Structure 1
Amino acid sequence: MEKNDKSMITKAIGHVSFVMRKCLFSILSIGPVPIHIAFIMDGNRRYAKRHALHQDSANPGIGHRVGFKCLISTLQYCYEMGVKYVTVYAFSIDNFKRDPQEVQSLMDLMKEKIDELLTEDSVLKKFDARINFWGDLQLLSEPVRLTAKKAMDMTVHNKGPVLSVCVAYTSTNEITHAIEASVREKQENAPIEVSDLDRNMYTAGCLEPDIIIRTSGETRLSNFLLWQSDFAHLQNPNPLWPEFSLRHLVWAVLEYQNVHGYLKKRKGEIEKNK
């Protein structure tokens, strides 16, 4: 089979897949579609070990490379579905305690993948999406930090959905940052309100997540969005992150739709009694 024939077949398959997803998402939209989904992308290293993927200097963090492909597919599905905000936990402050060589490999990989997100054929370009990086960015290596800033500057005026990447992040660090910023803003002895903390969170201006999904079956939040998750529907599907697929995402939305009424009622009751 010639190269052009393969390309035509690939395009045809892609078009059919898109039409099928469009029909599926149209059916899902009969119920409430989440506005914001957050992901703890757990299981990249276990995936590489389970599948005996060879890692060397040419393929550092190969499990994370496969995981990045999953992220791109998941972003496309979410944005096609109508999800406005997607947040991912990419690198915890605690991850800096890993082997220095592994940390450096992950930093290099992160820079490479941020650059890919800025190319003309990227999912961000396709959906006119904006990208945020949340965390103590001063902890990142300078090349990664500068690339992250470049990505935010280049997409700041985009009008489409939003991708927020939590990197060099923990929720306790975020809360500490918000308290310190609030104290600096206040006059001496002035009380700090919850609204002050909300305004100084890394996540300020972003709606709280409707769903938080942690792959690999783990049930811990691991210091992720603790301040913002009081009414989020927490889910822990068994697939490792590189195995997370469209069917898992659809099932997650169906589970959310099943409890949406209860969550909305409870949130209303609590806010009424404040």
Structure 2
Amino acid sequence: MGDDSIGGRLSEFIGNLGGFLRKFIFSVLSVGPIPNHIAFILDGNRRYAKKHNLKEGDGHRAGFVALLSMLKYCYELGVKYVTIYAFSIDNFNRRPDEVQYIMGLMHEKIEGMLKEESFVRSYGVRVHFLGDLKLLHQSVRIAAEKAMRVTANNTKFVLLICVAYTSTNETVHSVHQCFKEKRRPMDKFQEEEQQQQQQGLIKLVDLERNMYMALAPDPDILVRTSGETRLSNFLLWQTAFCYLYSPAKLWPEISLWNLVWSVLNFQRAYPYLLKTKMKRY
């Protein structure tokens, strides 16, 4: 028996053992409330590259590998929605060569989503790209639109990717949409009914319905790596009552144990979070 065969069997054994341990850990976690929606700020890719003397772009590639692992863990745990902050509107102010590289990497990975063996296809993931998509490079925008179209019928797991996004931009977008709705021509009956119900005013329900993130419930947990405790203009509206977790690890270093710890802390805080959320309504 060759070394390659032994090595292959050993890798398979370790993989099976890891899968068994995850199932055991997740079954224990399932005794408590499981978050329905987890959001991630993928912070630390560039610092990871610098820390390990890699090219700057290699940090983003390492971050993508970490993302795939985290998505798999969330799926196995039973988390229905995952949102990631992939690229802020403010990130367009970075060096042109860095922005160009990230756009190219994004296009490459979006195209990879559509392959048969990809995580998206294998796990039945529906993908949404949220943000001011017209700001993206044309090739990336076309690829994103294709990915959303191809995965539209998937229902097992929902991945929301915020690109060309900031929370303030999302709020302005929602106000504009609300204004357009209120300005639509109406027949006489609708106009009378609107006046009776005072629906000409923009209300909270109108704003929330027109948010980019109206596609999903508010996050239960927001994870930002690198030990940073800033939200950086991400989901400011939706995170009013969610649990915030800031592990010191850089994003490419995030592990299963960080996810487990975030869920345990969420479960411990759950009664208070639920109570404060109910007061909102």
> TM class, shorter-chain normalised?
over 0.9
RMSD: 1.3
Report what 1:69 is aligned to: 65
Superposed displacement of residue 119, structure 1: 1.6
* Aligned with residue 169 of structure 2, among 166, 173, 182: 173
Report what 1:214 is aligned to: 224
Counting matched residue pairs gives 266
State the alpha-carbon separation in 1 of the partners of residues 28 and 72 from structure 2: 18
Report what 1:9 is aligned to: 10
Superposed displacement of residue 187, structure 1: 3.5
- The share of aligned pairs that are identical, in percent, is 53
Alignment partner of 1:198 is 2:208: yes
Alignment partner of 1:142 is 2:152: no
Report what 2:193 is aligned to: none
Query: After alignment, is 36-45 or 189-198 more displaced?
Result: 189-198
SS of the equivalent of 1:253 reads: helix
Q: How does 1:50-65 map to 2 (within 5 A)?
A: 50-55=51-56, 61-65=57-61
Superposed displacement of residue 199, structure 1: 1.2
SS of the equivalent of 1:168 reads: strand
Report what 2:180 is aligned to: 184
Report what 1:31 is aligned to: 32
Alignment partner of 1:86 is 2:82: yes
Superposed displacement of residue 2, structure 1: 4.2
Report what 1:131 is aligned to: 127
Alignment partner of 1:164 is 2:160: yes
State the alpha-carbon separation in 1 of the partners of residues 207 and 276 from structure 2: 23
Report what 2:108 is aligned to: 112
Superposed displacement of residue 10, structure 1: 2.2
Larger Rg: 2
Query: After alignment, is 246-255 or 2-11 more displaced?
Result: 2-11
State the alpha-carbon separation in 1 of the partners of residues 252 and 143 from structure 2: 25
Report what 2:261 is aligned to: 251
Report what 2:278 is aligned to: 268
1:30-76 CA deviation, whole Å, 9 max, x = no partner? Answer: 01110000000000000100111135xxxxx1100000000000000
Superposed displacement of residue 122, structure 1: 1.6
SS of the equivalent of 2:244 reads: strand
1:6-41 CA deviation, whole Å, 9 max, x = no partner? Answer: 333322221221111111100000011100000000
Superposed displacement of residue 3, structure 1: 3.5
SS of the equivalent of 1:203 reads: helix
Report what 2:196 is aligned to: none
State the alpha-carbon separation in 2 of the partners of residues 52 and 153 from structure 1: 39
Query: After alignment, is 111-120 or 157-166 more displaced?
Result: 111-120
One-letter amino acid of the counterpart of residue 223, structure 1: N
One-letter amino acid of the counterpart of residue 47, structure 1: Y
Report what 2:194 is aligned to: none
One-letter amino acid of the counterpart of residue 90, structure 2: D
Report what 1:58 is aligned to: none
One-letter amino acid of the counterpart of residue 246, structure 1: L
State the alpha-carbon separation in 2 of the partners of residues 107 and 169 from structure 1: 14
